[in-house]
Structure 1
Amino acid sequence: MSQVLVGSTLSALSTGVGALLILFLQGTITHKWRDILLAFTAGIMMAASLLSLIPESLAAGGILPLLIGIFLGVLTLTIMEKYIPHIDLEHSRKGIEIDEKAMLIVAAITLHNIPEGLSVGVSYAVEQSETGNLIAFAIGLQNAPEGFLVALFLMNQKIKKFNAFIIATLTGAIEIVTGILGYYLTSFVNFLVPYGLAFAAGAMLFIIYKELIPESHGDGNERNATFSFIIGILFMIILIESL
């Protein structure tokens, strides 16, 4: 139990490690670098979806859970985009304003972390004790740029850096809960994992094409963003192959 708690916590907190970078940004970043970073993160998320989440879903459950999970992921994000209202968090006199686009990013990453946490918990429940450590490490590496992405979006919504860091870190905290759940309910979770992995992939693909790519091309930096997107894909491929 102690191993799954430590592994889940470390993989979850890596989201905060990525978000920590925004605390060192001087003011706001330029449109050019913002587009480059968004495209790079989109490349990482694309590779993670197509080369990790989708193959794992296929291996665990076959084509039907994959199709159902992706469809539900896309449908959920579509509904959220349509009906999530503007949210005003009254943490100060002026409040913290988060628009629908930022909320979609936060929700997508949080939803994406649910099956990841389950995967960590399930991996610690198998006989090979090192499997859990490997999965937790791999997911932790993937969570870092996601944390930076969430924090960056929140910062661009005029939220204070520290508040953006805290919110981004909390998006990964759900992995601690789902990791413990996955450990104790292995037999039940094993049935749901392929659907959850595909659901996360669908949600991520929606965000990549609907939000990140258009955002990275909105200020005349299409070529730089394209190169960054490809580099992000290659970076994630190297990580996947190395692990």
Structure 2
Amino acid sequence: MIEVFVGSVLSALSTGAGALIILFINQSLTHRWKDILLAFSAGIMMAASTIGLIPEAMKLGGFVSLSIGVFFGVLALTTLEKKIPHIDLEHNQYGIKFDEKAMLIIAAITLHNIPEGMSVGVSYASQTEDTGNLIALAIGFQNAPEGLLVALFLLNQRLSKFKAFLLATLTGAIEIVTSFIGFYLTSFVQGLVPYGLSFAAGAMLFIIYKELIPESHGDGNERVSTYAFITGLLVMVLLIDIF
């Protein structure tokens, strides 16, 4: 239980760690660096889902449960995306006042963190001791640049640096709650563990291919973003091997 709490808090607060950078910079990041951060995050999550979650789900439940879980993970993210309008934060050339529309963006980002938190909780419920720590680490790596980008967006809406940092941090806080939901669901019903792991993998793969990779290629930085993706994947593989 303590591991779940610590892992979920650290992965969630990584959003705030990334957002913290805006307190010390005087200008926004270039699109090139934003794309590099997004692609690096995609590589981290790709390795976590394909080398961490999917093999564990296969070992515990086999291919059928893996396929079912991945399908419902993708379906859940697809439904979420349809219900919540997607607004491209990084490639929008027009300013958006901090009004209802900006609040909608914050709400959308917060809700998109739900499956990430569940991924951490479900991973801690698995029989392999280190799976939870690895997924929490991967989500934390992904949350840090996301927190920075959200904070930069809020800063561009003429919020103070501190308010932008605080709001960006709060968008990740929901992961703590959903982490415990995922943990308790799969802990009390052990047969759900492989489905939960594959559900998390499906949700992560959807985010990688639908959100992170396309956004990292939005400003002609495809080559450097590709290098960043591969680097992120290799970093996570190294961490998996170490732990």
Normalised by the length of structure 2, the TM-score is: 0.76
Q: Say if 1:66 and 1:195, in contact at 8 Å, map to a contact too.
A: yes
Q: Which amino acid aligns with 2:237?
A: I
The Cα offsets for residues 87-113 of structure 1, whole Å up to 9 and x where unpaired, read as 9xxxxx943644888766543432121
Q: Say if 1:49 and 1:204, in contact at 8 Å, map to a contact too.
A: yes
Q: Which amino acid aligns with 2:120?
A: E
1:151 correspondence with 2:141: no
**Matched residue, 2:92:** none
Q: Say if 2:45 and 2:139, in contact at 8 Å, map to a contact too.
A: no
Distance 1:195 1:211 in 2: 23
RMSD in angstroms over aligned alpha carbons? Answer: 3.4
Deviation at 1:40, TM superposition (A): 0.7
Deviation at 1:13, TM superposition (A): 3.3
**Matched residue, 1:90:** none
Deviation at 1:28, TM superposition (A): 1.3
Distance 2:62 2:188 in 1: 17
Question: Please, which runs of 5 or more residues in structure 2 have no aligned partner?
Answer: 88-96
**Matched residue, 1:117:** 121
Distance 1:102 1:178 in 2: 17
Deviates most, 134-143 or 54-63: 134-143
**Matched residue, 1:142:** 138
Q: Which amino acid aligns with 2:207?
A: I
**Matched residue, 1:20:** 20
Question: What is the aligned-residue identity percentage?
Answer: 54
Normalised by the length of structure 1, the TM-score is: 0.76
Q: Which amino acid aligns with 1:116?
A: V
Describe how 1:4-15 pairs up with structure 2 within 5 A. 5-6=5-6, 8-15=8-15
Q: Which amino acid aligns with 1:217?
A: H
Classify 1:206/1:28 alpha carbon distance in 2 versus 1 (closer, same or farther; 3 Å).
same
1:82 correspondence with 2:82: yes
Question: Please, which runs of 5 or more residues in structure 1 have no aligned partner?
Answer: 88-92
SS in 1 for 2:224: helix
Classify 1:240/1:21 alpha carbon distance in 2 versus 1 (closer, same or farther; 3 Å).
farther
Q: Say if 2:118 and 2:180, in contact at 8 Å, map to a contact too.
A: no
Q: Say if 1:113 and 1:175, in contact at 8 Å, map to a contact too.
A: yes
